[in-house]
Copies of this chain bind each other. A is one copy, B any other.
């Protein structure tokens, strides 16, 4: 008997429940505290089903990331690329500044650093998020703000990097001004033809 995975069907509901439970567990206990047992309790899905389908904590995190990658994020449309990039970096800053966003971001990064499956999921997840965001660069090219030779993916990557660097590497304070500066610096590099 083969499992049916109709969107919205039982399989999808089970997956959503397990993924939601994974996110809550990771937020409350961190990646190190994530266990199949607790995800089973919280989701109401049987432990053995979780082991069979997800393998263990690393599979749970990877799947949560895979599903999160498909979720649409709000894309700004301020009329200028500078405005759009600033809105993007500020949204990331504010997201990580919230207790839940900070805990989930931190757990995903920790998982990626400690487990190859989670690392691959992080690579896909961040690429998918950039792919959604790159529309602000495409629009700017259409408006004639930047030449079509610009690497939009790289521009978004460079706008975000200083945010992650401060929060997760150097543990320095991160203000809205820092988010603005990260956006402006990436844009200046793109305008100079570096990106």
Contacts and interface: CB of A to CB of B under 8 A. Distances in A.
A148 interface: no
Interface string A183-195: 0111011011011
Contacts of A109: 113, 168-169
B110 A114 contact: yes
A188 B184 contact: no
A157 interface: yes
A75 interface: no
Interface string A152-168: 00100110111011001
Contact of A189 (B119, B169, B170, B189): B189
Nearest to A125: B170
Given A106-B113, A110-B113, A110-B114, A157 B165 contact: yes
A126 interface: yes
A68 interface: no
Nearest to A181: B194
Interface in A123-172: 123, 126-127, 154, 157-158, 160-162, 164-165, 168-172
Interface string A38-68: 0000000000000000000000000000000
B171 A168 contact: no
Contact of A161 (B112, B164, B184): B164
A97 interface: no
A75 to B, nearest CB: 20
A120 interface: yes
Contacts of A122: 169-171
Nearest to A162: B161
Sorted nearest first, the 10 A-B pairs with minimum C-beta distance are A185-B189, A188-B192, A161-B165, A119-B171, A161-B161, A161-B162, A188-B189, A126-B170, A184-B194, A123-B171
